[in-house]
Amino acid sequence: MAPGEKKSQQPRKRFYRARAHSNPLSDSHFPVPISPAHIDWSLHFPAFFKSPLEAESEKIDLMHKESTSDLEVNDKEFSRDCCSEECVSKDPSLNHEADFMENVSVKNPSEVANVQRGQPKVSFADIGCGFGGLLVKLSPMFPDTLMVGMELRDKVSEYVKDRIMALRKENPGQYQNISIIRTNAMKYLQNYFQKGQLQKMFFLFPDPHFKERNHRRRVISVALLAEYAHVMAVGGILYTITDVQDLGEWMKACLDAHPLFEEVSSQEQELDPVVTLLKRATEEGQKVERNSGDTFQSVYRRVASSSAGC
């Protein structure tokens, strides 16, 4: 590691200062994929996926297809995966450091699907992952499981991305299974994950939105639980923890009211290695512990619907 090589060093939080709260109801100006099929996961997990271009250049010797711009997408809403052709000629390791935060929608979803079929899909999602503490702890625990953090704040998600890059460089072969997406999970979760895809979802120390008029901004609500239940597989587990008692009771009440979620018994919770991480893995959790605060956790399982169907 050459001296002064900034990318290999762990990022310093002071350079990523951001306000603590970001309005989840405001209109986004960051790009959002048209559908889960339009995502090229090789940009996030190069060790697990071949990009469609790598696969093609393996099959056909350096024959570049002329890409036609018949994309029916309004440019202003979504950014194009415009640099993938140019990137092939560059150093492949740099290719994947290409900003996967910007290029979110591929032009050729069926091609991507052909190449990436049969590969594992993302199965853990940390909603509001903050500075990435949980992802970093979970990665070595489940090395073959792909996990993604979703964070709304731009600076914080940049920090997580730089952190993951640095960890991958410093620990060859490790941390290849975690990645970060800058997005509004409340609005766009369905654009990233297919029905029944996730095995675990994490909501650690979500924003309490104390005022009653702001309760609709809370990330756990009965209405949104329908969306979370949709992207979770039956038997998948949803973890939430908070240090705010009112919010803890609210989340438990929402989960109890929703027919597709069932509480996981405390015996089962004790046996789950992930539960022990809830309190201490994240920066927020460590802060609560430093201040000797109480925490309120709810762990629920996604159950099958009683009517015919999922």
Partner 1 sequence: MKGKCQVDVKYPSAQSRHEEAIRTITFSGEGKLFVSAGDDKHVKLWDTETWQCTKTVHASKKVSATAFSCDSKWLLYADKFGVVYAMSTKLQGEGLASSVVLDQPVNLLAHCCSIITSLKCTADGKFIVTADRDFKIRVSVFPKDPLQGAHEIEGFCLGHTSFVSCIACIDVGLKSQLLVSGGGDGTVRLWEIETATLLDTVDVRDEVGIADGNFESDAVIQASAITCVCVSCDGSLIAVGVESLDGVLFLKCDLKSKRLMLLQKLVLAEHFCPTSMQFDKNGWLWLVAGAAQKTDSCKENAVTWVKVVSSSLDDTPVFTPVELESIPGGSLLFETLDGTDSDVNKAFALAEAATIAMKNELSKRQYSNEHREFRKRLRNDKKLQRKV
Q: Which of 40, 162, 207, 243 is catalytic?
A: 207
Contact 105, 81 (CB under 8 A): yes
Instruction: Flag whether 151 is marked binding.
Output: yes
Q: Toward partner 1, which CB reaches closer, 175 or 228?
A: 228
Tell me the HSE value of 285 on the side-chain side, using a 13 A CA sphere: 21
Name the residues that contact partner 1, by CB under 8 A: 18-19, 25, 27-29, 34-36, 72-74, 76-78, 186-188, 190-191, 195, 216, 222-227, 229-230, 258-260, 305, 307, 309-310
Least Å from the CB of residue 223 to partner 1: 4
Instruction: Flag whether 114 is marked binding.
Output: no
Least Å from the CB of residue 297 to partner 1: 23
Q: Toward partner 1, which CB reaches closer, 96 or 230?
A: 230
Instruction: Flag whether 128 is marked binding.
Output: yes
Least Å from the CB of residue 123 to partner 1: 19
Q: Is 91 a catalytic residue?
A: no
Instruction: Flag whether 177 is marked binding.
Output: no
Contact 297, 303 (CB under 8 A): no
Residues 281, 48: Cα–Cα separation, whole Å: 25
Residues 16, 158: Cα–Cα separation, whole Å: 8
Instruction: Flag whether 189 is marked binding.
Output: no
Q: Toward partner 1, which CB reaches closer, 200 or 302?
A: 302
Task: Report the relative pairing of strands 146-151 and 122-127 from DSSP bridges.
Answer: parallel
Closest CA to 300 of 245, 243, 259: 259
Residues 262, 81: Cα–Cα separation, whole Å: 41
Beta bridge partners of 304: none
Instruction: Tokens 């056909």: give the residue.
Output: 60
Q: Checking phi first, is residue 185 left (phi over 0); if not, alpha (psi -120 to 50) or beta?
A: alpha
Instruction: Flag whether 204 is marked binding.
Output: yes
Least Å from the CB of residue 188 to partner 1: 8
Least Å from the CB of residue 184 to partner 1: 8
Residues 172, 280: Cα–Cα separation, whole Å: 26
**Binding-site positions:** 128, 151-152, 184-185, 204, 282-284
**Binding-site positions for S-adenosyl-L-methionine:** 128, 151-152, 184-185, 204, 282-284
Catalytic residues: 207
